[in-house]
Amino acid sequence: MDVEGGVSDDEVEDDPWAGYEPPDKAPPDWLGSWGPRSWMNAKARLAGFQSLGAEEWGYYTDAQVTGFPADELEPYRLLDAMSFGGDESHLRIMCRSENHLGVYDREIDWTGADDTTWLGMDTGEEYAALLSLATGRRIRSGGLTRTFRADDPDPRGFPDWSWHRARTVPTATRLRNRMLPCAGDPVDLQEAVDLLNLYPRLTGKRAVELVRAARQYQLGLWVAEEDPELAWLRLVSAVETMAVDSKPRKISPVERLREYHPQLYNAVEPAGEEILKAAAATIAGHLGATHRFVRFIVDRLPGPPARRPGEQLQIEWSADSIADLLKVVYGHRSSALHGGKPVPGPLLSQRENVETAAPPERFEASMGVGSSNWTVEQLPMTLHAFEYLVRNALQARWRELAEK
């Protein structure tokens, strides 16, 4: 029966959210903000929460590892996997994570999406990515291997390989032509302790940013020998991930055009200031990304590597020179992602690298691959040199974020 001024029961649609009350998604005071699970677990320990058990994760690497931290990284501990298989087995580190967080998760508000802390990794994978960035080595988690429960009468725990995936580090076709020779060098894990201990001091948002960048860096190193083009793209993405909020020095759109696209600037400048400003404003977004990428590294420019090749294979180690080289790198990245144009062939192979010499940092002359060729200006640096710049800039930013 119709009601005057109303609708019949048949015309009323059920509201799927009728009576639904969105949960309070505010983080607890001891946490401050939401972040990666590995970060929240460390914060829970600092807040005084007792361990509810532990998990162990198997880490794979082609580097010979020493200096396993005992109690310096709580709630995490890096253990020797006691792998005696030489190069046949890359399972060389066990990461034990004391679980102070339990199954703690924030409640979901089903009326909207929220992926602000989405990382696509479990606790062990998050920490492996950080360890890879902190050491500059190819290190990756294969997954869970053992769990320990506080309420279990057996303190030895029990094996759990149900989701584990054994990993073998991709190798170069020829040993002396590795793209990243240093990524497989022996490493003392004690050298990473100070950096890893800064992790819980970050805010949740910054911790998410760091883990995402570390993941890109980690995967760049991992695939460098079998897919160097993807390694270039991953390393650029690692920088972009952390450069978003890094606040480089501000310059006007016209200055940006002159610095990052001089050909267009020279072509438009004679037309007058009004047209020049309009052209600069039109491509300001694209050039802004280039500016953030270049300044992120240049503003954190490390000293030159301890081991360098002969002078003819060294890049000029100055801020202005390296800035110019990085602009070329970012141009190749943009062409690859947005135009499908592969990274120049010479950048995908390593020059001769004998054991007693440091890897080359640059190309001496124009080079060709097949029927294509590139000028030396189009070949800014080797992947080895770029990885060194990226790693040191990311580590410097890691320290900066911990100080804020």
Rounded average pLDDT per 10-residue block, the chain, 404 residues: 49 66 86 95 95 94 92 95 69 95 79 89 97 97 91 81 89 70 92 97 96 98 94 97 76 67 67 68 68 93 93 94 95 92 91 67 90 94 97 97 88
pLDDT for 186 equals 94
Return the HEC string of the chain. CCCCCCCCHHHCCCCCCCCCCCCCCCCCCCCCCCCCHHHHHHHHHHCCCCCCEEEEEEEEECCCEECCCCCCCCCEEEEECCCCCHHHCCEEEEEEEECCCCCCCCCCCCCCCCCCCCCCCCHHHHHHHHHHHHHCCCEEEEEEEEEEECCCCCCCCEECCCCCCCCCCCCCCCHHHCCCHHHHCCEEHHHHHHHHCCHHHCCHHHHHHHHHHHHHHHHHHHHCCCCHHHHHHHHHHHHHHHHCCCCCCCCCHHHHHHHHCHHHHHHHHHHCHHHHHHHHHHCHHHHHHHHHHHHHHHCCCCCCCCCCCCHHHCCCCCHHHHHHHHHHHHHHHHHHHHHCCCCCHHHHCCCCCCCCCCCCCCCCCCEEECCEEECHHHCCCCHHHHHHHHHHHHHHHHHHHHHC
pLDDT of residue 155: 75
**pLDDT score at 2:** 46
How do the domains of the chain map onto residue ranges?
37-106+116-245, 253-392
Confidence at residue 150, expressed as pLDDT on a 0 to 100 scale: 78
The per-residue pLDDT for 290 is 86
pTM beyond 0.85: the answer is yes
